[in-house]
Structure 1
Amino acid sequence: MDPLGKGTAVRPIVGLIGAFMLAIANQYLFYGAIIGVSYPIFILLLYAYLLHDRRNRLREISGFGWFMFAVVMLLSLTYALFNNPFFSALNFLAIPPLVFLHMAYLRGAKRIPWWDIRIIEEALTHLFALSMRHVPTVFRIVRVTAARKGGTQRKSALGKVLIGLCISVPLLIVVVNLLASADGVFQRALSGFPDWWNGLSIGEGVSRLLWILLAGIAFFCYLWGFVKPGRSSVKVDRTVTKSVPEESQYVSMRIDPIIMATLLVSVNVVYVLFVVLQFSYLFGAWEGALPDGKTYAEYARSGFMELVAVSFINFAILIIALLSRGAEDPARLRSLISKLLYLLVGCSGVMLYSAYSRLILYEEMYGYTYIRFLVHAFMIFLAILLIIAAIRIRTDVIPLAKCYIVIGLASYVFMNYVGMDRVIAGNNIDRYREGGAIDPQYLSTLSADAMPLLAEFSKKEYPGLKPLLKDRWKELANESRRPWQSFNLSVYAAEEKLHDLFRE
């Protein structure tokens, strides 16, 4: 057993030094700073650290490997390019799990396919069990490196120098700050040092040091869990065979085809009746043919969320039915279920269209907001998934799990880059031009992404928006003076545009 991994291509001391260098960069980029351009920089450094040892249990990077890297990098770049608070919070939660899943796919000992649900278990097992078991390894490396008598005298001296520096740096931070507080002349002598040193208090120095210490240990343990996963984790999982459709691996208990056919007949009878009634006024709503004498607003509000919920339920039924199908099912029964599934997809499409038309009417009456925009996007996304599922009914060649994973990730990245705030601002401006209705208070709350468009609008068409934009300008001016780590292109462009607006 080689606990320190001496026989591996990556020496443990090199991995540990790299981990602490990454930790130093991490605290420099993020400590006391708002996330901005620092995030994509750190993600690049993190990938460089985790993938630099290509000879250690690293799977050849395939098309999906590069795709996942592009997804993670594009999402991290949003912190430097855009200023939408919703996606900033969502990406903050989404990016780390994506990185963990990506690493589990590239470096996991079990070599699980990327579309297999077990990749999540592999990522969690590595993140907690395999990484935590290497915490003692950190201290063992330091002890062995300090006590090792073998090797050249030069290597021994270098190790001792590194250990001495690790001890002296935190001690010097405390001592220098104490001396500067005790003697004004000494403090003035420090004026030649960078500003960050002068502003570094004892409390901040200890916090930064603790940050580096914990982050460095965490980075090393995570990497070393891949390099030395342990005997219990190095078995290659060969349970997946190409001859078995990938979806069948996730079905522990198939639903009997007769039960499924009965379920589909029952729900389709109700859905067909609903769709027939919908057609009596669905396509005439734009000409005023509304049910029960309802107004546009009442029609738009009524049943919208219910229709979306039913469409989502139908999608779940469709997926369960597809996963339950088996080649051993009777041919006539299989054909009947396929026809019922097509009918289910058709009814779901009508319901989605009905909900979509109601939402458009509602937006024309009350304007465009974050929630309404996101619901629009969700319905379009659900419609795409339904189309893929409909194709899957016809042929088992379509890899449903793979398609949904790739489309889901690509759609999420697209939503980040579509410019939600600018689209909402533009649609509300068009609504004002057509009917004169606008909510300036809401427009002023949009993120910096929309400010250049709103500045032009207030300058040329709606001066009443200027007082509200002036308050936003003051906020953005403070944001633009943040350290370089917090730089955001959208905030910079918005501040410049508003500065030009109020300078005139």
Structure 2
Amino acid sequence: MDTQQTPGPQPTSSQPPTHATIKQQPPASQRTKRRVIATMATALAITFVFDRFVCSSTLPECVYGYALPLFWMLCLALVTALHWTSVRRRPYTWLVVGTITALSVWNMLSVSATAYCGNIDYALTSFLAQPMLLMLHCQLADGRYSVWHPFQVARDWLTGWLMQPFANLGRVFESFTILVRSADSSGKRSKAREIGMAMLVSVPLLLVIIPLLASADRIFRYELASAIGHPDLAAITIHTLIVIVPWPFLCSLLLGLDIGAKEPSKSRHIVLSPATTVTVLSVILVVYALFCSVQLRFLFAGALTDGSISLPDGLTYSAYARDGFFQLLAVAAINLAVFGIALISTPRTPWLNATLGGLLAVTAIMLASAALRLGLYIGAYGLTWLRYASLTFIALLAIAIVLCAIRMFTSRLPLVATLAALVMVWYVALGFSNPDWVCGAYNATHGFSSAYSPDNPATWMF
């Protein structure tokens, strides 16, 4: 009689893979080589594009104003392509990509070849906002961030400027060894690779040595000119150095962005006692209550009754608004930061909720005071670029206060990530609203035709 036996575990899973199985997936060393080559090529492409677009004096005059926005877009495209596998699945990364692209389009639409250098919004965007956002994109590109741990992202962003360009320089130089090696050291491919690496090292050295020798000996310079013509060796050397010198530091940054290059960060959560947090907030609220009582007495009372404000003798609207406006915005921003720290680091109690609600309330009064001061100033002296930006920033902070209030009742809202996204949307909306046109239209309508001129930097300020 045949007996049926239960088959045991298949031995194929525990046996070593066959030669055919190994060929289906490249070895780890080969994948490492490909990744290193792609990273180093991306870094070289960025430095080369920087030299050609930003540092080159051979660009047509009509392209000058568009070179820097195009450079940031190319950098964005190269970094995104390098980390495409992780970038494509993360919506927040695409928000940063869209913001950088929109800011580049904004600058290219509003720039002119003759006046772009004197445009304040062009300067702030191209030299400050876009580099900061591009570094943020680099730190988010590996896909290891979390919207619930914004301080980790902030730390990575800061080290991206201060540490990461230097932390992996050893890996950059070791990568040359990886590129020189091959599977068969005796093959022709290896010899060709070694010759190519030798030429790669020799070319920048020759570009430095030859101009020095030509400057040291006239006969050598004459013979060199008769052989190769009259190239500008000094310019060639300078542009080569612009490409080569920052390249290893950029390689270090990009190599550090790989998933396997950064060690998993350990989140350190600081816990404050409710008594400590409530005491600190209560002391702050006492001071804020005194300030708000002054505002309600002098500022809001007159504005709500007859539309005028009785200021002390010798104090003008201009001095009153100018002296306190930015200080109020700074205090409001500090209050929101204190709110976030207290919310995430202190166990929730009724007293904590009460003090946090009071902090949001006095912050709202401060914003209202700043908005009223700015409205008086605009009504008396007209609208400028900075006054318009400040007005929209007050609206941004007001929305932030509403989001903070919502966060008190639900823990499903990633507050810091939402506020960061809101700032990016605000900045893009500010640019596409065409501040020059808005200021000009307002001033022309209200009789302040000379208060703002996009060609006069003196009229941009507060």
Q: TM-score, normalised by structure 1?
A: 0.66
Question: 1:344 and 1:323 mapped to 2: Cα distance?
Answer: 17
Q: What is the CA RMSD across the aligned residues, in angstroms?
A: 4.3
Structure 1, unaligned runs of 5 or more: 191-197, 241-248, 448-504
Q: CA deviation at 1:407?
A: 1.0
CA deviation vs aligned residue, 1:181-224 (integer Å, no higher than 9, x gap)? 8489969x97xxxxxxx7x5221111011111113323322222
Which residue is 1:99 aligned to?
134
Q: Residues 371 and 133 from structure 1, CA distance in 2 versus in 1: closer, same or farther, beyond 3 angstroms?
A: closer
Q: Residues 407 and 21 from structure 1, CA distance in 2 versus in 1: closer, same or farther, beyond 3 angstroms?
A: closer
CA deviation vs aligned residue, 1:28-73 (integer Å, no higher than 9, x gap)? 11114585322343334323433434488x4653110100111122
CA deviation vs aligned residue, 1:435-491 (integer Å, no higher than 9, x gap)? xx54389564269xxxxxxxxxxxxxxxxxxxxxxxxxxxxxxxxxxxxxxxxxxxx
Which residue is 2:388 aligned to?
373
Which residue is 1:38 aligned to?
67
Q: Equivalent residues in 2 for 1:44-443 (5 A)?
A: 44-54=73-83, 58=86, 61-82=89-110, 83=116, 85-91=119-125, 92-107=127-142, 111-113=145-147, 116-126=150-160, 128-142=162-176, 145=179, 150=185, 152-154=187-189, 156-157=191-192, 159-161=194-196, 163-164=198-199, 167=202, 171=206, 182=222, 201-227=232-258, 230=261, 233-235=262-264, 237=266, 239=267, 249=269, 255-257=276-278, 260-261=281-282, 263-264=284-285, 267-268=288-289, 271-272=292-293, 274-284=295-305, 286=307, 289-291=308-310, 298-299=316-317, 301-303=319-321, 305-306=323-324, 309-310=327-328, 312-314=330-332, 316-317=334-335, 319-321=337-339, 323-324=341-342, 330-331=349-350, 333-334=351-352, 336-337=354-355, 340-341=358-359, 343-345=361-363, 347-348=365-366, 350-362=368-380, 366-432=381-447, 438-439=449-450, 442=453
- Amino acid aligned to 1:291: S
Question: 2:291 and 2:83 mapped to 1: Cα distance?
Answer: 58
Question: 2:225 and 2:164 mapped to 1: Cα distance?
Answer: 52
- Amino acid aligned to 1:361: G
Question: 1:282 and 1:70 mapped to 2: Cα distance?
Answer: 42
Structure 2, unaligned runs of 5 or more: 1-27, 58-62, 111-115
CA deviation vs aligned residue, 1:159-179 (integer Å, no higher than 9, x gap)? 52464366358758958x979
Q: CA deviation at 1:112?
A: 5.0
Q: CA deviation at 1:328?
A: 5.2
For the Cα contact (< 8 Å) 1:261–1:336, is it kept in 2? no
For the Cα contact (< 8 Å) 1:71–1:410, is it kept in 2? yes
Query: Secondary structure, in 3 states, of the residue corresponding to 2:34?
Result: coil
- Amino acid aligned to 2:78: Y
- Amino acid aligned to 1:31: C
- Amino acid aligned to 2:257: F
Which residue is 1:466 aligned to?
none
Question: 1:257 and 1:441 mapped to 2: Cα distance?
Answer: 47
Choose between structure 1 and 2 for higher RCO, CA contacts under 8 A separated by at least 6 residues. 1
2:51 is the alignment partner of 1:27:
yes
Question: 1:172 and 1:313 mapped to 2: Cα distance?
Answer: 55
For the Cα contact (< 8 Å) 1:251–1:324, is it kept in 2? no
For the Cα contact (< 8 Å) 1:307–1:355, is it kept in 2? yes
For the Cα contact (< 8 Å) 2:107–2:122, is it kept in 1? yes
- Amino acid aligned to 1:30: V
- Amino acid aligned to 1:105: L
